[in-house]
Amino acid sequence: MSAMAARFGVLKTWFAAFGRKGEGAGPLPVRDRIDVAGARPVRISAFDQPLVAVVATLVLLGVVMVYSASIALPDNPRFANYSALHFLQRHVFAIAVGFVCALAAVQVPIAFWEKHASWVFLLALLLLVIVLVPFIGKVVNFSRRWIPLGVMNFQPSELAKLAIALYAASYMVRRMDVREDFVKAVWPMVLAVAVIGVLLLRQPDMGAFIVIATIAMGILFLGGVNARMFFLIAAVMLITLALFLAFDDLRRERILAYLDPWNPKYAQGKGYQLTHSLIALGRGEFFGQGLGNSVEKLHYLPEAHTDFLLAVIGEELGFLGVATVIVLFFWMTRRIFVIGRQAIALERLFAGLTCQGIGIWMGFQAFINMGVNLGVLPTKGLTLPLMSYGGSAILVNLVALAIVLRVDIETRSLMRGGKG
């Protein structure tokens, strides 16, 4: 009888709610699911455990593959003074620092990030200026992108990706009333992205600029900016990119090499990385050559532990390994968007747009890196998030995902009737 009474009570509540519809009653309140049989609330976990599990899987697989891809590097005279564990130790250290920072970030309320989004953006701009100062910024492969901090090198462009997600979300919340006015709604954001672009192209780091511009555009579009404005911005950016390539011989050569990497003119030059990446993926076939059995990582494929880690995964773990990585990134990106959509449904616009901006960042950068490794996109110098070797990249990635987790925690608290 108690079970029947519980069912009747739930049905009565639903019919009463639908009966009030159109009489000023709002949508049904979002609350925990109800166990009808026992009339008890079903417990909602305090945080998104599957998301944490997927992120941990990607990070741990990255540790294994970074070790495998870098173990032979000390045989190269360039790295002769390094031990076989050098890159693994630094990678694990960066993950440990990132984990501590993520634990701290997940304790910070989203209201704090909304209030200080502009200051985070200004900090990122300042660091992008500092890295260009001689004797401060570290030059690697003709690019000045890192600030030495002793224990690790920090790349300001990674912080800029998080900063633009926070700033664009904050901007859209503050300027909701002018979304239909192109000048008032769009140009201030375009100017902010342009300033970052000028600083990044001075390094140069065109890949990071493309990711940052995509994050900003995505948040503007998801925030409700008129679709015509969005496509106008996209057209302007494409024209700017075309002009940039027209006057930059190095980038133009990369595009031509990507279109025909096996051409003898490019195979030993700009197309060298791509051809060896394709060879590695071809050798992997379906099940791979076995963990640790990559040949291309033996000084044939440059940057195998950073930009071209997916090629090593393909050679050692085969199509099955690459497909697994793609599915994990797809699921993670989709889950981040779901968390953002849930926050927006509860009228937490900043939290929702920030999540979706981070989802664009993770998904788009992973897509570019995979596309470069598979030969469907030109070489951009972007790492695979959460997996490739790189201290500041993985640190900022973990902090960004901690912010997503904080949004989810606050959303679940509101769904339970708390204060978020």
Q: What phi and psi, each to the nearest 5 degrees, are found at residue 408?
A: -65, -40
Cα–Cα distance measured from residue 390 to residue 179, given in angstroms and rounded to the nearest whole number: 38
List pLDDT tens digits, range 76-133.
777 778 888 889 999 999 999 999 999 999 999 999 999 999 999 999 999 999 999 8
Rounded to the nearest integer, the mean pLDDT of the chain is 82
pLDDT at position 234 is 74
State yes or no: pLDDT of 179 exceeds 90.
no
More confident residue, 195 or 101: 101
Domain borders along the chain are 2-41, 49-415
Q: Which residue has the higher pLDDT, 378 or 2?
A: 378
Phi-psi region of 318 (alpha: psi -120 to 50; beta: other; left: phi over 0): left
Provide the pLDDT confidence category of residue 357 given band limits of 50, 70 and 90: very high
What is the per-residue DSSP string for 213-280? HHHHHHHHHHTT--HHHHHHHHHHHHHHHHHHHHT-HHHHHHHHHHHSTTSHHHHTTTTHHHHHHHHH
Instruction: Give the global pTM.
Output: 0.84
For the ranges 25-34, 67-76, 188-197, 352-361, the one whose mean pLDDT is highest: 352-361
> 210-258: per-residue pLDDT in tens?
899 899 888 888 887 766 767 776 776 777 677 666 666 666 677 767 7
Highest average pLDDT, of 128-142, 252-266, 312-326, 370-384, comes from 312-326
3-state DSSP assignment of residue 190? helix
Asked whether the predicted pLDDT for residue 396 surpasses 50, the reply is yes
pLDDT per residue over 315-334, tens digit each? 999 999 999 999 999 999 99
Burial of 271 (0-12, 13-18, 19+ CB in 10 A): buried
- What is the DSSP secondary-structure string of 277-291? HHHHHHHHTTT-S-T
pLDDT, greater one: 308 or 84? 308
Where do runs of H (alpha helix) occur along 32-138?
49-70, 86-105, 110-130
pLDDT confidence band for 419 (50 / 70 / 90): low
Report how far residue 50's alpha carbon sits from residue 89's, in angstroms, rounded to the nearest whole number. Answer: 28
Rg (C-alpha) for the chain, rounded Å, is 24
Average of per-residue pLDDT across 17-31: 40
> Residues, the chain, total?
420
